[in-house]
Structure 1
Amino acid sequence: MQAALAHPPRERLHGLDAVRAIALLLGLVVHASMAWIPGAQYFWVVSDASPGEFAGLLFYVPHMFRMLLFFLVAGLFARMACERLGSLGFMRDRARRIAIPLASLWFPMLMAIVAVIAWNAWLVNNGSMPPAPPTPPLSPRNFPLTHLWFLYVLLLCYIAALIVRVTLGRSAFAQHVADTAVRVLASPVGPLLLALPLAAALITHPKWFAWFGIPTPDQSLYPSLAACVAFGSAFGFGWLLHRQQALLQRWAAHWPLHLSIAISATVGCLLHVGLAPKLVPTTREIADIAYAIAYAVAAWSWTFAIVGLGLRFLSGHSPLRRYLADASYWIYIAHLPLVMALQVAMSRVEWPWFAEFALVLVATLAILLPSYDLLVRNTWIGAWINGRRKPRGLEAAR
């Protein structure tokens, strides 16, 4: 087998780039599926008249792992950038690529989402607007970060990593302990060890809705304990993995094992909760505790498996994959209002759910990919999110 990490330290790690893009683009699949999940009227802006139980799978399975996967790779790339740029250079780089996009794009995204919600309400009420529901005042505890919450949590992770770097970074003992722990966690038993604190955080989370998995911190500036444990541990693990990148070769070699465990644990979870969401908070009975453990094991096993698959099969240079990896950040930032608007449009027709879902997905990419090439890639926006302006077109990614 070809070595998974046969790249010089400063060369682009194409396999991990592809994995990060997969994690972001799976967000489109998750959000695009939500209008067709049975009971969507209770948790989503659009509830289509032609729901399908199997639409739940398109949400449930990717949602298990996509953000764990993203934060793991983000942590690894973050330390790589910090080593290359130094702490001050890293802070400037992350301010430009993460903090500025969050500060400048959050409000336009929120307003676009509100406009789609208003449009759907107008259609549902036959051309008249219903009374606006009461909304609590904006505060740190009530702050609709929308789907851009991941940028906010990334900033918190960067701050925490830099604090630890300054306080413990020069301690030989701390480095030895961290490297030993990472070697254990990167072994085949790693998903189980990583799953235990996540499962504990999930089962103790107030009003945990088990079918929806890890609660995303999208409504407050104070992330829940479950979100901190899930995404913080993934980021920290990725950060420390960068010190021993050769460990990832294990994942490239053992991806069939991790994938088998992921699928088995996912099937077990679905047998417990079903294909459609149950909008009742989970109890702390034995069956629910077992579900939380199985869910966390599945989430981490999927993460190990997909990283391994990416390193095993996607480590070669591909202009198309590189271009999509560059575009995935913009696509994820811009996709949600567009997906919602297309779902509202699809709610006015009576087609099979899978045809409507596919059309939403294809139309979203057909709009956002050209918008990236025309409006982002070689503009000041591209300089923000990609680190520099890049020549337009697929050929430029060679």
Structure 2
Amino acid sequence: MSLQAVNRQRVYFLDNLKAFIILLMVVFHVAMGYTTWDLKWWTVNDIQTHGFFDLFILETDVYIMPIMFLVAGYFAPMVLVKKGATGFWQDKLKRIIVPWVGGVLFIAPLVAYSTFYSRMDTPPNYLSFYRDGFWGPYYQQAQYWFLGLLALFFLVLTIAYQINPAYFKKSLQMSTPPLWFFPAFTLLTAASFFIINLFFWNDAWVNVKYLFMIQPVRLVLHLCYFGLGVYAWKHSWFTAGGYTPRLLTWGLAALIMLFVFLAYRVTFTLIPNVPVLAKVGHAFTHAAFSLTATFALIALFQRFFDSNAYLWRRLAANSYTIFFIHQCVIIPIGCTVQKMAINIWVKYIGVSLVTVILCFLLAEYVITPVLSLGKRNQHKNTQIHA
């Protein structure tokens, strides 16, 4: 089967998986406020905490971004081959670059400011904070760091396309990964994690000239998952006749690695001055759990959620907008309930549900119609001037 024929087959379950991961990201960010760790840099820390949220954060943080990068890597070559480098970057300029810059300049400062607003009776003047604090020790990119890193990976992909366009355009027979493929991938990502972890704390963030915010220990791992997505597209994985991960195999492996990873993480890495041998084990358990969880979820969604049903279609269509705005919804709701002494599970589930519903409603009925109206007006103006 040609790659062109494969590309015409819509992979609905990957769209739905991406939508699910973004919703999971929303409840993940809500949960950050309920951990027992007293995260002084987090937006809103609730007066109530529970150790469950520590474990939830530790395990969810492992596979959310690898799945996002893998899905991005899977779909990006389709657009690149179809539109060419110029058309590809015209699309990415509007969809990735401009939102990234806008988010960093106008929304990320509000996210950073909320760490003061939610803790102080008299927070600092916002304009002074924006000038001296945000562009100083409190600089961050909120969730928009993902867009910056994604743009960088798209650049790498484009350079590869320019160097060897035949690789992307030439048809290949569908192939199943050899037995050594996934163990080798695990070792590669574990080795990159371990080597960089020798120089950086495993959860450290680094500001690279105000352009990128990266987690050094995970940078190569994320690039590997983006490349794995490209490789999966090239070899027609997840399509009819292509490689299909088995749910039972990957699901059991992911369940086992979940307990192994959490036990190891809590026992050996939540301490200062982690020994080198403990870092080896952390790197391997992180890499193995990341891979097994990623492919278990891919297998689950391919088996049960390969659907173009209305709700999945609308969630997938609005997932990017939900990703973009969710912190703007979480923070005011979190501040409102922060000091309410009600059952922690009622509070967390309530905040999560309200946030998800509000994000979806805003995306579906406010932001998307406004953007669509702007596009229609721009199209009309273009036709008039033509």
- TM-score, shorter chain, exceeding 0.5: yes
Any idea what the Cα deviations from partners look like across 1:98-155, whole Å, max 9, x if unmatched? 1111122322212321442232132xxxx3347999967848x985222101100110
Conserved? CA contact 2:69–2:222, under 8 Å: yes
For structure 1, the residue ranges without an aligned partner over 5 or more in a row are 1-6, 389-398
Distance 2:361 2:238 in 1: 38
Conserved? CA contact 2:193–2:221, under 8 Å: no
Please provide the CA RMSD for this pair.
3.5
Task: Indicate the residue corresponding to 1:343 in structure 2.
Answer: 334
Deviation at residue 84 of structure 1 after TM alignment: 1.8
Task: Indicate the residue corresponding to 1:128 in structure 2.
Answer: 122
The verdict on how the C-alpha distance between 1:293 and 1:382 changes in structure 2, with shifts beyond 3 A counting, is: farther
| Matched ranges for 1:215-254 at <5 A | 221-222=211-212, 223=214, 225-246=216-237, 252-254=244-246
**1:221 corresponds to which letter in structure 2?**
L
Conserved? CA contact 2:175–2:242, under 8 Å: no
Task: Indicate the residue corresponding to 1:99 in structure 2.
Answer: 97
Distance 2:237 2:27 in 1: 32
Candidates 76, 81, 84, aligned match of 1:83: 81
**2:320 corresponds to which letter in structure 1?**
Y
The verdict on how the C-alpha distance between 1:277 and 1:256 changes in structure 2, with shifts beyond 3 A counting, is: same
The verdict on how the C-alpha distance between 1:354 and 1:276 changes in structure 2, with shifts beyond 3 A counting, is: farther
Distance 2:339 2:267 in 1: 25
The verdict on how the C-alpha distance between 1:164 and 1:142 changes in structure 2, with shifts beyond 3 A counting, is: farther
Distance 1:357 1:129 in 2: 25
Task: Indicate the residue corresponding to 1:29 in structure 2.
Answer: 27
Task: Indicate the residue corresponding to 2:190 in structure 1.
Answer: 199
Distance 1:218 1:85 in 2: 33
3-state SS of paired residue (1:298):
helix
Distance 1:277 1:339 in 2: 29
Distance 1:69 1:243 in 2: 17
**1:332 corresponds to which letter in structure 2?**
F
Conserved? CA contact 2:186–2:284, under 8 Å: yes
Any idea what the Cα deviations from partners look like across 1:158-216, whole Å, max 9, x if unmatched? 100010111123369x989xx89x957x4565443222222222223256555x5xx66
Conserved? CA contact 1:106–1:145, under 8 Å: yes
Task: Indicate the residue corresponding to 1:113 in structure 2.
Answer: 111
Task: Indicate the residue corresponding to 1:147 in structure 2.
Answer: 143
**1:109 corresponds to which letter in structure 2?**
I
Conserved? CA contact 2:329–2:358, under 8 Å: no
The verdict on how the C-alpha distance between 1:75 and 1:145 changes in structure 2, with shifts beyond 3 A counting, is: same
The verdict on how the C-alpha distance between 1:209 and 1:359 changes in structure 2, with shifts beyond 3 A counting, is: farther
For structure 2, the residue ranges without an aligned partner over 5 or more in a row are 380-386
Pair 1:321 & 2:312 matched: yes
Pair 1:358 & 2:349 matched: yes
Conserved? CA contact 2:73–2:228, under 8 Å: yes
Conserved? CA contact 1:116–1:337, under 8 Å: no
Conserved? CA contact 2:19–2:319, under 8 Å: yes
**How high is the sequence identity, in percent, across the aligned residues?**
18
Deviation at residue 383 of structure 1 after TM alignment: 7.7
Q: TM-score, normalised by structure 1?
A: 0.80
Distance 1:244 1:148 in 2: 31
3-state SS of paired residue (1:48):
coil
Q: TM-score, normalised by structure 2?
A: 0.83
The verdict on how the C-alpha distance between 1:151 and 1:363 changes in structure 2, with shifts beyond 3 A counting, is: same
